Chain A
Amino acid sequence: MVNLVMATPERTVIERAERATEPISTSTSESAVPLTFQVKNLSVWYGEKRAIDDVTLDIASNAVTAIIGPSGCGKSTFLRCLNRMHELVPKTRVEGTVLLQGEDLYSSTVDPAIVRRRVGMVFQKSNPFPTMSIGENVIIGLRLNGVRNQKFLNERLEKSLRMAALWDEVKDDQQRLCIARALAVEPEVLLMDEPCSALDPIATAKIEELIHELKAEYTIVTVTHNMQQAGRVSDYTAFFYLGRLIEFGPTTKIFTNPSQRQTEDYITGRFG
């Protein structure tokens, strides 16, 4: 495993444990499922406002975890805490611990830039760099990390485009381009913040298919407002409300028989 501080750009993808098949029934680690993240008692403030309230949650490796909840429930904030991206917002304060493969993400010796390379992010609105070609967009992350070897860059470009299912049909699919860009630095985790909310059904289906394929190699955490999408793509679902984690469990359990009334009311559309 690569150390957060010592990581080099040319490192190879780490050996991965077998895909998680065992369900985990609670937010605490109690089973043999390999975990990528262990979040313990996480609280986040934006100035005086508490956005996340004492959340404890494990994220299984090589699985898709969906985070659902109404607007303002803290799901995007939670996602950003997994790669320290919330630090870009002024007056943010974090309590609790986030372990990535057992390492403390918030340790003072950890470089946030390296964290963000290991934990990639895809946003709601695709954000390709408009003045760059598709190829330049994909490898920009590596260039910014100081990679100069053109052969290596070319190989990584092709590999990333293939994984994002873009190589054979370089079209104007910007969201998949952004996924390719996130993949180019070979992260371990892919965070997705409503990746399909601006897409038509066909582009959405392609992204969902991609998520399904990518989980063999990556741990994926996705925030979505689309309940059916959470049901289709995820292995685990976490329901957030008012900054708190209300319920977490295997997706089939959450969508057929949630144990909390608030979860039931939200997913069936009886909220508020």
Chain B
Amino acid sequence: MIAHRHILGTFDEALGSLRNNVLMMAGLAERSLERAMKGLTERDDDICANAIADDEEIDQLEIQIDKDGVDILLRFQPVASDLRRVVSAMKLSSNLERIADQATNIARRARKLNQHPPLPEVELILPMNAQAMAMFKDSVDAYVREDVELGRAIVPRDAKLDDLNRVASRRLIERMAQDPEQLRGYLNLMFIGRHLERVGDHATNIAEDAVYAAAAEDIRHQGVAAST
């Protein structure tokens, strides 16, 4: 929904700036995750270092968004869709910051793996990366476009990512038993899988916040009762 102009121009500016910072943060988190995975697959320490360096700017944006959000609540006391936009921007920034942390973790593990001969089991991680990255991009899209259906559709996709992680972990544990020499390498791959699985969780949170922002509907924790 495109909102009419607010009578107070400064309010529209403040909301616009908040949204721009969230989008900037999402872009940086996405880039950081891509770099971390590229550093892993191309065995490139420099790319890993870039991914880690991105984290600083993302942390600063998180602080800025929280500060601006509180400032808007204080100065303008927004209601209705304005209130939901501010609240969801602040929640998004927290999830984006954690996604960036996962990217940093992946880059650090990749640098450790790069010190040893390549492991073909890295292939197990790639489908997880594709799934987590697609969920993340779609969740940000759902937020940007206020697309309730897209946001809703992301939540069940997390189960597939969890399955992929289980399959990869099982296989890596088998390899540890068969090839204990490479134990550290397999462990690092297992952790990377775990980090990607966490990215999926944060993408799910973002999708839920996108639905709340657009439609004032809380869709969190609805699968728990159904799946047990």
Interface of A toward B, CB cutoff 8 Å: 227-228, 231, 255-258, 263-265, 267-272
Beyond A268-B81, A269-B7, 11 extra complex contacts between A and B, CB < 8 Å: A227-B79, A228-B77, A256-B79, A256-B84, A264-B81, A268-B3, A268-B79, A269-B6, A269-B8, A269-B11, A270-B3
Pick the residue among A228, A258, A264, A270 that contacts B5 (CB under 8 A). A270
Cα distance A227–B3 in the bound complex, in angstroms? 19
The 4 A-B pairs at the shortest CB distance, nearest first, are namely: A257-B216, A270-B4, A255-B79, A269-B7
- Determine the distance from Cα of A5 to Cα of B11 in the docked complex, in whole angstroms: 54
Say yes or no: is B82 at the interface (Cβ < 8 Å to chain A). Answer: yes
Query: Contacts A256-B216, A257-B216 given: A271-B7 contact, CB under 8 Å?
Result: yes
Kindly state whether residue B72 has any CB partner on chain A within 8 Å.
no
How far, in angstroms, from A215 to B188 measured CA to CA in the complex? 63
Q: Which residues of A contact B7 (CB under 8 A)?
A: 269-272
Most A CB contacts (10 A, CB to CB) among B78, B80, B84 go to: B80
Task: List residues of chain A with CB within 8 A of the CB of B153.
Answer: none
Alpha-carbon separation in the docked complex, A256 to B79 (Å): 6
Known contacts A256-B84, A256-B216, A257-B216: A267-B3 contact under CB 8 Å: no
Q: How far is the CB of A272 from chain B (nearest CB, A)?
A: 8
> Closest A-chain residue to B83, C-beta based?
A256
Per-residue interface assignment for chain B, residues 124 to 155, with 1 indicating a CB less than 8 Å from any chain A CB and 0 otherwise? 00000000000000000000000000000000
Contacts of A272 in B (CB 8 A): 7
Chain B residues whose CB sits within 8 angstroms of the CB of A228 once the complex forms: 77
Contact of A257 among B3, B11, B77, B80 (CB under 8 A): B80
Q: Which residues of chain B come closer than 8 Å to A257, judged between CB atoms? A: 80-81, 84, 215-216
Chain A residues near B6 (CB, 8 Å)? 268-270
Could you tell me which B residues sit within 8 Å of A by CB distance?
3-8, 11, 77-84, 215-216
Closest residue of chain B to A271 (Cβ to Cβ) is B7
> Measured between C-beta atoms, what is the minimum distance from A264 to chain B in Å?
5
Please name the residue on chain B nearest to A231 by beta carbon.
Answer: B79
How close is B7's CB to chain A, nearest CB, in angstroms? 5
Q: Chain B contact residues: over half helix, strand or loop, or mixed? A: loop
| CA gap between A257 and B87 in the complex, in Å | 14
A149 to B185, CA, bound (A): 96
By the criterion CB–CB under 8 Å, are B77 and A258 in contact?
A: no
**Quick one: given A256-B84, A256-B216, A257-B216, are A267 and B4 in contact (CB under 8 Å)?**
no
Which residues of the partner chain B approach A267 to less than 8 Å between Cβ atoms?
79-80
**Considering the chains assembled together, what is the distance between the CA atoms of A86 and B7 in angstroms?**
33
> How far apart are the CA atoms of A265 and B216 in the complex, in Å?
16
How far is A219 from B7 in the complex, measured between Cα atoms in Å? 34
* Residue from the set A231, A256, A264, A268 with the largest chain B CB neighbour count within 10 Å: A268
Decide: A258 near B11, CB < 8 A? Known: A268-B6, A270-B4.
Answer: no
What are 18 A-B pairs at a CB distance below 8 A?
A227-B77, A255-B79, A256-B80, A256-B83, A256-B84, A257-B80, A257-B84, A257-B215, A257-B216, A258-B80, A268-B6, A269-B6, A269-B7, A269-B8, A270-B4, A270-B5, A270-B6, A272-B7
CB distance from A27 to the nearest CB of B (A): 20
**A246 → chain B closest CB, angstroms:** 14
Q: Compute how far the CA of A121 lies from the CA of B84 in the bound complex, rounded to whole angstroms.
A: 36
- Most chain B CB inside 10 Å of its own CB: which residue of A255, A256, A263, A270: A270
Whether A268 pairs with B82 at a CB distance below 8 angstroms is yes
B8 and A268 contact, CB distance less than 8 A: no
- Tell me the bound Cα distance from A256 to B84 in angstroms: 7
How many angstroms between the C-alpha atoms of A256 and B215 in the bound complex? 10
- Complex Cα distance A29/B7, Å? 36
B4 and A265 within 8 A (CB): yes
Once bound together, how far apart are the Cα atoms of A257 and B80, in whole Å?
5
- Tell me whether B216 and A268 are in contact (CB under 8 A): no
Q: How far is the CB of B41 from chain A (nearest CB, A)?
A: 45
Interface centre among B6, B8, B84 (most CB of A within 10 A): B6
The answer for the CA separation of A258 and B3 in the assembled complex, in Å, is: 14
Nearest CB of B to A188, in Å: 31
CB distance from A213 to the nearest CB of B (A): 24
Question: Would you give the shortest CB distance from B77 to chain A, in whole angstroms?
Answer: 6
A51 CB, min distance to chain B CBs, angstroms: 25
**With a CB–CB cut-off of 8 A, which chain B residues contact A258?**
80
Q: How far is the CB of A63 from chain B (nearest CB, A)?
A: 20
Cβ of A255 and Cβ of B80 under 8 Å apart? Answer: yes
Q: Which residue in chain B gives the minimum CB-CB distance to A263?
A: B80
